[in-house]
Chain A
Amino acid sequence: MGARGRRGVHRKASAVKRKATPAATPDTQWPLWEVFVQEKSGAPHEHAGSVHAPDAELALQNARDAYARRGPVTSLWVVEARHISATTPEDSPFLLGPGPEKLYRHPRFYKGAKE
């Protein structure tokens, strides 16, 4: 593809060498953001996947383009992956929910007003 191709006559410009900047930043693919999608009003936001973005505005744009192209989307949340705190597999015994010895957490343990 010659000069008339995708870059057209401006191709030469980008071939000019950039002068080295002191303490040049390493080339990155931008930070990782996690995306949460709410399909219908009233539904919870669900994890849909991730996008890369330098900041929140572009993260929202990218998330919309990647995860809201098809089907209804009412709301999108994005959060930088590094800001998510999560439990680890070692925590799972504590996450299993009230065991049979903790019936006082269940509604059926209690008599209602009408019973």
Chain B
Amino acid sequence: MSRELFEYLLRLGDDRLVLGHRLSEWCGHAPILEEDIALANVALDCIGQATQLLALAGEIEGAGRDADALAFFRGPTEFRSCLLVEQPNGDFAQTIARQVLYDAAGANVLEQLARSSEPRLASIAAHAAIEVRYHLRHAREWWQRLGLGTEESHRRLQRALDELWPFTHELVTPDALDRTLAAAGIGADLDQTRAHFERELDELIRSAKLRQPTTPAFPAVGGRHGKHGEHLDHLLSEMQSVARAHPGAQW
């Protein structure tokens, strides 16, 4: 069970590390000063959650790896983040759409994990759930404004939704690991998450007068098993460059 729990915690932690890293790329480049602050806020929460989740993963693994060792010294084939979070920021609509899609599923996952039979995970999740509710509120406010604002913002949000939709399958489709952990009362039941996600997105798409994206014949999956696209390698090369240049150093 600890091997499975370790893998599961990597999925949760890697998601938030990669997403937080992507959001931090906006610093100093956001559409307005208030959004530099807002996006940094979400980034900080994500990286903070990642730190706790990876630290717990390291404890469970019991091989002497701490959060930094896991964050900075694993390659892309060892990362278990979903494909959605490694997608580049794109324009503001892409970033907001990615946030809405990730958090619409993520908020439900965290709510379930707050009741996990693994108490340390439950504690991290309970705290994270509060933060993610706030992130989702921010993202939803923008979703509305972009969807209903101008013709240009509507067009950009529609395109973002169409391009990112194939990556949502991975967020709400359980595999063997998910089922094992859910059955043990430790992990989230993604079937429940899917139902919640579909309801939420239906409402968001309708209220912003968007077109329902078509379900792809081949959904984009693989992140959970270390099969990533080309983006993650570039992201990790940058993220890990200084740490790897000085292995064993203290900072």
**Using a CB–CB distance below 8 Å, which chain A residues touch chain B?**
4, 6-10, 13-14, 18, 29-30, 51-54, 57-58, 61-62, 65-66, 69
Tell me whether A57 and B152 are in contact (CB under 8 A): no
Tell me whether B94 and A4 are in contact (CB under 8 A): no
Tell me whether B34 and A53 are in contact (CB under 8 A): yes
Tell me whether B89 and A6 are in contact (CB under 8 A): yes
Residue of A nearest to B235 (CB): A4
Q: List 27 A-B contacts (CB under 8 A).
A: A4-B88, A6-B25, A6-B88, A7-B89, A7-B91, A8-B87, A8-B89, A8-B231, A9-B88, A10-B94, A13-B90, A13-B159, A18-B152, A29-B32, A30-B32, A52-B32, A52-B33, A52-B34, A57-B141, A58-B34, A58-B141, A61-B38, A62-B34, A65-B34, A65-B37, A66-B34, A66-B37
Q: Which residues of the other chain, B, contact A52 by a CB distance below 8 angstroms?
A: 32-34
Q: Which residues of the other chain, B, contact A9 by a CB distance below 8 angstroms?
A: 88, 90
Tell me whether B37 and A62 are in contact (CB under 8 A): yes
How many angstroms between the C-alpha atoms of A8 and B232 in the bound complex? 12
**Using a CB–CB distance below 8 Å, which chain B residues touch chain A?**
25-26, 29, 32-34, 37-38, 41, 87-91, 94, 137-138, 141, 145, 152, 156, 159, 231, 234
CB distance from B52 to the nearest CB of A (A): 19
- Closest 6 A-B residue pairs measured CB to CB? A8-B88, A10-B90, A62-B34, A6-B25, A65-B37, A65-B38
Residue of A nearest to B138 (CB): A61
Residue of B nearest to A18 (CB): B152
How many angstroms between the C-alpha atoms of A53 and B137 in the bound complex? 16
Q: Identify the interface centre among B29, B88, B231: most chain A CB within 10 Å of its CB.
A: B88
How many angstroms between the C-alpha atoms of A9 and B90 in the bound complex? 7
